Structure 1
Amino acid sequence: MTPIYIEVDAQVRYWDDATINGSSDDNGTLTPLKRGDCWCPVIRLADGVVMDWPTGVVADIHFKVCDEGEYWLLDESKQRIAKWAGYYVPDEFLCPGTNGYGDYIILTINEDGQIQKWKAPVVEYACECADEDESQSRWHKLDTTGGAE
């Protein structure tokens, strides 16, 4: 299956590290796609468009996640097909044009939901032959029951 989207479920430590339409978001009430204490966008990999982004909202996201996120690749039907194996943020996907050092999600999103400086990321799957360190920075394919293959 070809990955089309990345789904993010990241527990945010400091909502006020985001600027939404020019205002600091002190408690996350301004941030689109917030669910409880988590930020949960789905991003199209080919062009970096955040799905269901409200038209007219501009965001400068700089969220500290620190091992409190889960990330999945989705197919064209938005079914989960792979899960990020590591504890860290997949920088290549969620920090275009900068380095989040595995602890941050850093995105600038325009009024149309387009992430600035986006480049379609390369998806690298782990294989059973990979050592544990290498496996942590790869995607693990899911089987039909939702477990790792």
Structure 2
Amino acid sequence: MTFTIELTQVVSKEVKYLQAECGVRYWEDGEVNGTEDTDGELMPLRVKDAWCPTIDLETGAIQDWPAGTTANIHYKVCDAGLYKLLDAEKKVVREIDGYVPTMMSPGGSGYGDYVIMTIGPDGKIENWSVDLEPFQEDGE
């Protein structure tokens, strides 16, 4: 007779980027260059019905953000989001879906439902702060 147990090994991985796919409910809750973005036509990095930024975790700079463009975002996303941590080669290390991680709301309390941020003309998110806790393994 043999007995078997399962063991989980913890592995540490370096991550460099956060790639988000935020299912935006109301595009008019965004402003680009001081203009209300009624239909989401002005917002950079829009892909169909989602806003899809890739953010450098260290600097808070959004990759491929058009120079000179500013934005104020207060998007209701709720559980319609996918968030991926990427390594330096932009390979997925870990992903979560559902509620908005707190670091996507440096402009106010998003309560897990909102992306709230101000993006400067250099593509950097104001008051950017990294919180990787939602991505940690929870001993499932």
Q: Which category describes the TM-score, using the shorter chain as reference length?
A: 0.7 to 0.9
Q: Which stretches in structure 2 are left out of the alignment for 5+ residues?
A: 1-12
Contact 2:107–2:117, Cα closer than 8 Å, also in 1: no
Q: Tell me the distance in 2 between the aligned counterparts of 1:7 and 1:63.
A: 16
CA shift for structure 1 position 66 = 1.4
2:121 aligned residue (100, 111, 116): 111
The one-character-per-residue Cα deviations of 1:35-87 (angstroms, maximum 9, x if unpaired) are: 000000000111100010000100001100011000010000111100125x2
Write out aligned runs for 1:18-33 (5 A): 18-33=30-45
Secondary structure at 1:16's aligned position in 2?
helix
**Identity of counterpart residues, as a percentage?**
44
Q: Which of the two has higher C-alpha Rg?
A: 2
Q: For 2:138 and 2:118, how far apart are their aligned partners in 1? A: 33
Change (3 A) 1:84 1:58: same
Q: For residues 45 and 61 of structure 1, what CA distance do their matches in structure 2 show?
A: 19
TM-score norm. by structure 1 comes to 0.81
- Distance, in Å, in 1 between the alignment partners of 2:33 and 2:46 is 16
Give the residue type in structure 1 aligned to 2:117.
L
Counterpart in the other structure of 1:4 = 16
- TM-score (structure 2 length as normaliser): 0.86
CA distance in 2, matches of 1:95, 1:103: 9
Deviation at 1:97, TM superposition (A): 4.6
For 1:57, which of 40, 44, 69 is the aligned residue? 69
**C-alpha distance in structure 1 between counterparts of 2:24 and 2:55, whole Å:** 18
Over aligned residue pairs, what C-alpha RMSD do you find? 1.2
- Partner Cα separation in structure 1 for residue 131 and residue 78 of structure 2: 23
Structure 1 unaligned regions, length at least 5? 130-149
**Residues 80, 96 of structure 1: alpha-carbon distance in 2 compared, 3 angstrom cutoff:** same
Work out the CA distance in 2 between the residues paired with 1:123 and 1:31. 26
CA offset digits 1:10-36 (Å, max 9, x no partner): 110000000100100011100000000
Query: Quick one: which amino acid aligns to residue 78 of structure 2?
Result: C
Q: Secondary structure at the match of 2:60?
A: coil
**Partner in structure 2 of residue 123 of structure 1:** 132
Structure 1 stretches of 4+ moved >6 Å: none
